[in-house]
Amino acid sequence: MTLKTREQYIQSLRNCKKRVFLFGEEVENYVDHPLIRPSLNAVAMTYELAQRPETGGLLTADSNLTGERVNRFTHLHQSTSDLVEKIKMQRLLGQCTACCFQRCAGMDSLNALDAVTAHMDQELGTPYHQRFRQYLRHVQEEDLVVGGAMTDSKGDRSLRPAEQADPDMFVRIIHKDEGGIVIRGAKLHQTGAINAHELLVMPTRALRPEESAYAVACAVPADAPGILYIYGRQASDTRKLEGGRVDVGNAEFGGHEAVIIFDDVYVPWEWVFMCGETAFAGELVEWFAAHHRASYGGCKVGVGDVLIGATQAIARVQGVENASHIKDKIVEMIHLNETLYACGIAASTEGAPSPSGSYLVNRLLANVTKLNVTRLPYQIASLAQDIAGGLLGTLPSEKDFNHPEIGPLLEKYLASSARYPTRWRQHLLRLIENLTVGAGAVGYLVESMHGAGSPMAQRIMLARLAGLEEKEQMALKIAGLAEEPAPVHGG
């Protein structure tokens, strides 16, 4: 098998017996749970679009490992065209789901590990790259969802991993034997983890030689013994339990995050891709971050397209679409959204081969992309709320609209333009609410701020990658000062 159908993917999760906890209880059937199922539907869309004739070319690629057509989320980028196609795919999926579709971190982890394991083997003579390529062949042949597990719980953030009062604040190796390793710790904010088949565990930061226990990269089945998932709360999440559709806003699709506990999980050597090589931990983090930061120039733009469309629609329903200030605000939303897309495309077209031959995005432009993503979606959301009006936050419930006595009164007094029924206003306001303050805001806004690193992480990388000394020399040359001796600084 190379490409699963949507139905085959859903069935494969039924066969994946994870331990999932939600609201203090263990969930027996997580596949059909009303809080979790919308996020599963979003992942299923990555399989469905791969099967459609009109989108299959974008959602799939020719594997450099098997020669078969594989889902692009399991593909190693072989050119800058591949990197661009990835951004276009992510935008399309954002447009189709209006949420996080949860496979980007896994795709970006696969590409980062491919490059870094090749570099490790070149420098150290290790067997990691061959192991990794064999693992990836398995992922491609079975068309699996891989979750990238990087963010540790970190404990006291003023202390390094080995300095923590509890050494398990960063995932670490606690045992090795001839068959493999045992890992212990937790990963936080793990997007789509419950919908994954596999987890790729990676270090979360650069490490020192004495921190070798924390320099671990490995793959584990998502239902391996010792793994526990605790589902994360989202704003307005219990609306999904009410049985209605309108108040959810985006009833079919959604995202999720989870805390993953690794309670002494055994990993055979064949799926271990870093084991104590601290010198390469920071490189793996940076290369993953570069791929993932560029990704936000696709996925968040697709969700932004939906939010812009909802804002234009609510303006029409409320009869203000021709007001000049409304038109100007919507143009500004478009400008901000396309700026993000331009950054993602630029980071991709300026990519270059990595040590493994797979392609890495331009790291400087990837960090520019993500730094913009920490700001511009918030501005887009603010404009959407401005145009939607105060009813965005005060609209009565779906049950009130369905009540035999007060429902007709709400239909009467909450009507807007005579061209549209009141329910149009009701549906659109709930969608905008979902994307800007409700459950959907986690995938659109909170991820925009903190996913792939918070703003300071990007600013640090910009300072490191921008070539300030080279720029200074350009200026000195133009100013006629390049040949003069440098002045002596100090008292």
Q: Is 54 a catalytic residue?
A: no
Tokens in use for 442? 């986690």
Q: How many angstroms separate the CA atoms of 11 and 14, rounded?
A: 5
Q: Is 278 a catalytic residue?
A: no
Tokens in use for 24? 């203090």
Q: Which residue has the tokens 């709320």?
A: 385
Q: Is 291 a catalytic residue?
A: no
Q: How many angstroms separate the CA atoms of 362 and 157, rounded?
A: 29
Q: Out of 74, 97, 117, 191, pick the active-site residue.
A: 191
For the CA atoms of 139, 365, 43, 24, the dihedral, rounded to the nearest 10 degrees, stands at: 100
Q: Is 175 a catalytic residue?
A: no
Q: Out of 47, 296, 341, 444, pick the active-site residue.
A: 296
- 8 A C-beta contact, residue 177 and residue 171: no
Q: Which residues pair with 217 in a beta bridge?
A: 274
Q: Is 403 a catalytic residue?
A: no
> Which of 357, 281, 279, 272 lies closest to 123, judged by CA?
279
Q: How many angstroms separate the CA atoms of 448 and 464, rounded?
A: 22
- 8 A C-beta contact, residue 216 and residue 274: yes
- 8 A C-beta contact, residue 5 and residue 52: no
User: Residue 304 contacts by C-beta under 8 Å, 6 or more apart in sequence?
Assistant: 94, 333, 336, 337, 340, 377, 380, 444
Q: Is 447 a catalytic residue?
A: yes
Q: Where are the beta strands (DSSP E) in 303-397?
A: 352-353, 359-360
Q: Is 191 a catalytic residue?
A: yes
Round the CA-based radius of gyration of the chain to a whole number and report it: 24
Task: Please report which residue ranges of 176-239 form alpha helices under DSSP H.
Answer: none
Q: Out of 299, 311, 343, 369, pick the active-site residue.
A: 299
Q: How many angstroms separate the CA atoms of 93 and 102, rounded?
A: 10
Q: What are the distances in angstroms from CA 47 to CA 106, 110, 142, 144? A: 15, 18, 12, 10
Burial 165-175 (b: 16+ CB within 10 A, else e): eebbbbbbbee
Q: Is 252 a catalytic residue?
A: no
Q: Out of 257, 286, 398, 433, pick the active-site residue.
A: 257
Q: How many angstroms separate the CA atoms of 38 and 251, rounded?
A: 7
Cα 74 vs. chain centroid, distance in angstroms? 15
Q: Out of 99, 104, 218, 275, pick the active-site residue.
A: 104
Tokens in use for 43? 């992942």
- 8 A C-beta contact, residue 147 and residue 222: yes
Q: Which residue has the tokens 């990087």?
A: 150
> Which of 375, 254, 377 lies closest to 307, judged by CA?
377
Tokens in use for 76? 């190693």
Q: Out of 85, 286, 398, 447, pick the active-site residue.
A: 447
Helix or strand run (H / E) with residue 269:
none
Q: What is the DSSP string of 430-466?
A: HHHHHHHTSTHHIIIIIHHHHTTS-HHHHHHHHHHHS
Q: Which residue has the tokens 């050494």?
A: 167
Give catalytic residue positions.
100, 104, 191, 257, 292, 296, 299, 447
